[in-house]
Amino acid sequence: MNLAEKIKHLREIEGELRGLNRAMTQIEIVKAMQEELHESISQAYLSQLESSKRLHLTASSRDLLSRFFKVHPGYLVSDPPDYSIDLVTQMESEGGDRLNTWLTAGAQEWSAEPALQELLLRLAEVEEPLRYLEAFQRLMEFPVAELETIVDAITVHASEQRNETAFD
pLDDT value of residue 64:
93
pLDDT value of residue 92:
43
User: The whole model's pTM is what?
Assistant: 0.50
pLDDT value of residue 96:
44
Q: Establish how many alpha carbons lie within 13 A of residue 84's alpha carbon, considering only the half-sphere containing its beta carbon.
A: 5
Spans of the chain, pLDDT less than 70: 83-96, 166-168
> Residues spanned by CATH 1.10.260.40 within the chain?
3-75
Per-residue CA distances from 65 to 2, 3, 120, 139 (Å)? 15, 12, 32, 43
pLDDT digit string, tens, across residues 16-45: 998 999 999 999 999 999 999 999 999 999
- Quick check: 38 and 28 in contact, CB under 8 A? no
CA atoms of 129 and 73, how far apart (whole Å): 37
* CATH placement of domain 3-75: 1.10.260.40
pLDDT value of residue 163:
76
